[in-house]
Amino acid sequence: MDSLLSLLIWFPILGAVLVLLIGNNRIAIARWVSVFISILVFVLSVNLFLDFDTSTSAMQFVEKASWIGQFNVFYHLGIDGISMPLIILTTFSTVLVIIAGWEVIKNRVADYMAAFLMMEGLIIGVFSSMDSMLFYVFWEASLIPMLLIIGVWGGQNRVYASIKFFLYTFLGSVFMLVSLIYMYNLSGSFAIADMYTLPLTLTQQSWIFWAFFLAFAVKVPMFPVHTWLPDAHVQAPTGGSVILAAIMLKMGGYGFFRFSLPITPDASSSFATVVIILSLIAIVYIGFVALVQKDMKKLIAYSSISHMGFVTLGVFVVFSIMKMGADGQLVSINGSSIESAYLGLEGAMIQMISHGFISAAMFLVVGVLYDRLHSREISTYGGVINSMPKFTGFAVLFALANAGLPGTSGFVGEFMVILGALQANFWFAFLAATTLIIGAAYTLWMVKRVFWGPINNPDVSTLSDINTRELCIFAILATAVLLMGLYPQPVIEVMHASVINLLEQALTTKLPVSL
């Protein structure tokens, strides 16, 4: 199909309008229409995977039409191996959250479903834009439904959390806008591909790098601009947390892949150590912060930040492994093979996708408990296994995946990144590897306090186990987590050509060689 990407973007958005028109009074129809739309979009997006040509790093499914002639802005879509898995992750997660919100959301159901469909379309737009202005429009527009989701269906402190979320990310993004315009004025084009080839001095690159960094680091989020995330996660409804963790954070990681590395390769290289240190702080320090949380959602939010640290670590560690030789061939800095640079980048990608599954699952686990007892406090629970055995089975599986147990998807990405980091610097790898201990500590300790042990709270004994709907969601997620953990090869194959291309771009200097 020629316009598959457009269909994937606009079908959910128009579907959202339809659901809005159905209205909050016809709940059953709104639910069924939404779930139908989301499944249809997911099925359509699988076509991206099936028809994808893994042998090339070129953009595929390209669509191009003039949009704003004044600025040379094109409605230009296309995907490569980096964006395609993220799009499928988006469509997949949207189906889950819509089913997860089925009977849990009682207030303004149609609006709720519509907001998620709208967001799905916008985020697919983010991942498939090849024009930076189009990208920016989708990037910012996706804040609006999330603002409303947190603000309308959130918890006690939702107003504070939603506005903090919005302003934080908005502030980060406007600097990206300024640097995009700056590059447009240099090159006369907003096309991302033209920015790759735009010659920039190191000073220009540094400014642009930090402007991009603000936008993407806030989104990821990286230490020290992560403070909006715990608030947003804790206050958001379960579905909101899932989308936030599973997809929105990935937009930041994607930004590093798509913008920072290829557009500002020299600045990325010179500031790589700073980013790596921030990533390690996120991995270790935020891991410890997670350990002391009393609120389950907050704990998972901090664990998200810690896990996303692996993404930025994997991306920027390549600068310590490889460099571009004078003859245009990649050469190793300290004797390691080029494979370890791939390990870093591909590990980061795998980590993003795996985190999409695991964090979604973890937030849904908390959601199930919250729906029943309306508490996120760890201390409320204890001995849940006695009344909810099936649920506990899934919860423990996801918790182990979160801790990075081999065989689950959580292990693959982290292990790849650690292996890559080991080639760069032993201490990077050492610090990153501590997460296997800290991560296991905070996750398993939470499991122990919530699921094992005696029942302290009489309410816990009255809990009913998960119903079929919840069982389905968890079963799908468990399959995904195990599949990715045992056989990640298809995903790696899809992205391999694009990663090779990206690595070359990231290591090719934009500066005059005569320096």
CB of 225 to another protein, least distance (A): 14
CB of 466 to another protein, least distance (A): 31
Q: Which is nearer to another protein, 18 or 144 (CB)?
A: 144
Q: Which is nearer to another protein, 27 or 39 (CB)?
A: 27
Structure tokens at 62: 């390209």
CB atoms within 10 A of CB 427: 11
Residues forming beta bridges with residue 191, ordered by sequence position: 131
Q: Which is nearer to another protein, 185 or 489 (CB)?
A: 185
The binding site for another protein (CB under 8 A) comprises: 67-71, 108, 111, 133, 136-137, 140-141, 143-144, 147-148, 151-152, 158-159, 162-163, 166-167, 170-171, 174-175, 177-178, 181-182, 184-185
Q: What is the DSSP letter of 257?
A: I
From 309, 125, 132, select the one nearest 229 (Cα to Cα). 309
Structure tokens at 245: 């963790």
Separation CA 428–CA 362 (nearest Å): 28
Q: Which is nearer to another protein, 145 or 367 (CB)?
A: 145
CB of 174 to another protein, least distance (A): 4
From 152, 259, 178, 278, select the one nearest 216 (Cα to Cα). 259
Task: Give yes or no for a contact between 161 and 224, defined as CB atoms under 8 angstroms apart.
Answer: no
CB of 70 to another protein, least distance (A): 4
Task: Give yes or no for a contact between 30 and 102, defined as CB atoms under 8 angstroms apart.
Answer: no
DSSP notation for 273-334: HHHHHHHHHIIIIIHHHHHT-SBHHHHHHHHHHHHHHHHHHHHHGGGGTEEE-TTS-EEESS
Query: Quick one: how far is CA 273 from the chain centroid?
Result: 23
DSSP notation for 122-191: HHHHHHHB-BHHHHHHHHHHTHHHHHHHHHHH--TTHHHHHHHHHHHHHHHHHHHHHHHHHHHHHHS--B
Tell me how long the chain is: 515
Contacts of 312 (CB under 8 A, 6+ apart): 217, 220, 222, 253, 256, 275, 276, 278, 279, 282, 348
Coil vs helix vs strand at 491: helix
Q: Which is nearer to another protein, 159 or 511 (CB)?
A: 159
Structure tokens at 7: 């269909």
